[in-house]
Amino acid sequence: MKAHVQAEPRCVLLWNFGPQNAGYDHLVRTAAALRLKVRPVGPAELGGTVADLCAGRRAPATQLPSPTDTPAMIISGLRHDDGSLGRFVDEIRRGGADIPLRAMVTPTSRSWTLDALLRELCEEHAAVGGRE
């Protein structure tokens, strides 16, 4: 019997980063070239799990306060070990995108709510002195 390996959806969740930001158009083009769906997320999605949001499912209605105004990017479907994640991040930075909070979806974080992941990213960012 073969094990069923579920591939992560190829997706980029963007928090507080959109067409008004420098580098956004380049990010969208770069994501499209890699078959990554770009999905803007906002306060209405804070109660949704990262896995559900990456899969395009709607989040349950919540009234959570925004955890941060800092732009964030959560990437699903690219890998660190083959270099695809690093190449994507490097390319969007070359295109002018400034997204201080970044994460890739992991087996652990996929079950977290967007709110929990953004709060964790803020804590990690503060712990390293806000450096990128």
pLDDT band at 62 (very low <50, low <70, confident <90, very high): confident
Does residue 2 register a pLDDT over 70?
no
**What does the block give as tokens for 35?**
């078959």
pLDDT value of position 63: 86
Does residue 6 register a pLDDT over 60?
no
**Torsion angle of C-alpha atoms 23, 53, 103, 35, degrees rounded to 10:** -60
- Per-residue pLDDT of 27-50, as tens digits, reads 999 999 999 999 999 999 999 999
pLDDT value of position 5: 47
CA distances (Å), origin 98, targets 54, 80, 81, 109, 123 = 21, 20, 24, 23, 18
23 touches 91 (CB < 8 A): no
Task: Please compute the mean of the pLDDT values over residues 4-25 and round it to a whole number.
Answer: 89
40 touches 27 (CB < 8 A): no
Does residue 132 register a pLDDT over 60?
no
pLDDT value of position 131: 53
Q: If you search the block for the tokens 């997320």, which residue do you land on?
A: 41
